[in-house]
Amino acid sequence: MTEKEIFIGKLKKRTRKFAVDIIMFCNSLKTCKASSVVTYQLVKSASSTGANYRAACRARSKSEFFSKICIVVEEADETEYWLEIINETNLSNDIEELIRLTKEANEITKIMTKAKNSLYINNK
């Protein structure tokens, strides 16, 4: 395996683990009307991050890859947004996990943004 293939494999696992961790975290949120709406949006965006990254890895062209990576960036950033909402509305009692997941969302967003930007710059 090449270094690139190893990196891609690790990132696939990381984004999948992130989605699973988000789902587990959502099970610990306070029960109220707001948390059910936020949970729905959070699980959608977190799971979409990994699913679209996998789709990007199977892209048939650079433009298809770019399109999918743009979606991954949007979804990872949206996930971070919903985690910020949870923090600001005190919907979680597990602040440590909330901070960890927010950092992970931010790191994934940065990694995917770098991939998107390098592809964009190299194709100008």
Per-residue tokens: 5: 């293939």
Helix 3-26 with 33-57: angle, nearest 10 deg: 170
Any idea how long the chain is?
A: 124
How far out from the chain centre does Cα 38 lie? 15
Q: Could you tell me the CATH number of the domain that includes residue 27?
A: 1.20.1440.60
pLDDT in tens, 41-68: 999 999 999 999 999 999 999 889 999 9
Domain count, the chain: 1
DSSP of 71-107, one letter per residue? HHHHHHHHHHHHHHHHHHTT--S-HHHHHHHHHHHHH
pLDDT in tens, 12-52: 999 999 999 999 999 999 998 989 999 999 999 999 999 99
Residue 105 domain boundaries: 3-122
This model's pTM is above 0.75: yes
